[in-house]
């Protein structure tokens, strides 16, 4: 079994005395695996990401990144081993692609020479090599999304957190990001990946934690969840041959909702 890189136990979080955004969540992200966080809007995914990255603290329970609380006073070394790509794209528009990568690497404490080398290494996997000298402000939305994801890897993190990294992305960008995620896991990195596109999770062969109302209501591999829960889904409304069991069938069975977004890579 792969070693745990991130561990959450009994985590509770609320804001301003309101309903709990997370209500007793347990989660483990292991080295060499993709852990996919699924659930409808408001389920608690973004709150969990913030806690895992050390951006906020839990009201109760524990969060451990390589054994340390990433939000604690002693969590600085743990935070240095986290790469985060939040939903909002964050790049310096006036700087070139290469300079963006180098600057973010240096902000993570990477030396200047190593930062140059790391920037060069990340260009090809994200299809940025032909854009290396172009300013980020001149890039298309999909190109900026690829740069944003690459920035999360500049410090060679042990844990990479990608919060809806393909939202609004074109098919080419989506495929490059998915391949980069597969390569990260193959190299032994723990990846936490949130998405509304369920076929992505199947392509990544991810371990799944399905959240609703701040609780994990199901966990396991795609095959395990299909075997346990697909039969609970209501019958299709339209008259058509019933679809084979899939992760979307499980999602519908457990949440009563179909996927928020259709698969943009599916061919008509």
pLDDT per position as a tens digit, 213-266: 999 999 999 888 888 876 565 555 444 444 556 677 777 677 765 554 544 444
78 band by pLDDT with thresholds 50, 70 and 90: confident
Q: What is the mean pLDDT of residues 182-211?
A: 93
Q: Taking the mean position of all CA atoms in its chain, how far away is CA 78?
A: 18
Per the prediction, the chain carries an average pLDDT of 87
Q: What's the rounded Cα separation, in Å, for the pair 18 and 73?
A: 27
Report the 10 Å Cβ neighbour count for 210: 23
What pTM was computed for the model? 0.85
Q: Does an H or E element contain 20, and which?
A: strand 20-30
Q: Is the pLDDT of residue 267 over 60?
A: no
pLDDT at 254: 73
Q: What's the rounded Cα separation, in Å, for the pair 265 and 268?
A: 9
List of domains in the chain: 1-81+158-268 (3.40.50.300), 91-156 (1.10.40)
Give the pLDDT confidence of 56-75 residue by residue, as tens digits.
Answer: 999 999 999 998 999 988 77
Q: What's the rounded Cα separation, in Å, for the pair 205 and 36?
A: 9
Strand 4-14: give its sheet, edge to edge: 20-30, 4-14, 60-65
Q: Is the pLDDT of residue 90 over 70?
A: yes
Q: Residue 127 carries which DSSP code? A: T
* Nearest C-alpha neighbor of 33 from the set 192, 185, 199: 185
């Amino acid at each position: 079994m792969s070693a745990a890189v991130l561990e959450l136990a009994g985590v509770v979080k609320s804001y301003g005395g309101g309903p709990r955004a997370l209500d007793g969540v347990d989660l483990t992200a292991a080295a060499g695996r993709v852990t996919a966080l699924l659930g409808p809007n408001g389920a608690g995914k973004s709150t969990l990401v913030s806690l895992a990255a050390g951006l906020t603290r839990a009201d109760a329970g524990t969060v451990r990144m390589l054994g340390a609380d990433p939000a604690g006073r002693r969590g600085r070394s743990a935070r240095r081993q986290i790469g985060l790509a939040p939903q909002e794209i964050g790049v310096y528009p006036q700087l070139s692609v290469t300079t963006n990568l180098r600057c973010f690497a240096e902000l993570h404490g990477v030396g200047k020479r190593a930062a140059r080398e790391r920037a060069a290494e990340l260009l090809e996997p994200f299809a940025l090599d032909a854009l290396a000298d172009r300013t980020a402000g001149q890039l298309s939305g999909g190109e900026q999304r690829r740069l944003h994801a690459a920035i999360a890897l500049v410090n060679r993190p042990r844990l990479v957190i990608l919060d809806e990294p393909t939202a609004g992305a074109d098919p080419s960008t989506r495929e490059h990001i998915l391949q980069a995620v597969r390569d990260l896991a193959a190299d032994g990195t723990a990846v936490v990946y949130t998405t509304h596109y369920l076929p992505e999770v199947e392509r990544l062969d991810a371990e799944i934690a399905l959240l609703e109302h701040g609780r994990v209501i199901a966990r396991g591999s795609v095959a395990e969840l299909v075997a346990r829960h697909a039969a609970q889904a209501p019958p299709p409304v339209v008259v058509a041959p019933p679809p084979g069991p899939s992760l979307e069938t499980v999602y519908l069975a457990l949440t009563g909702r179909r996927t928020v977004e259709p698969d943009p890579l599916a061919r008509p």
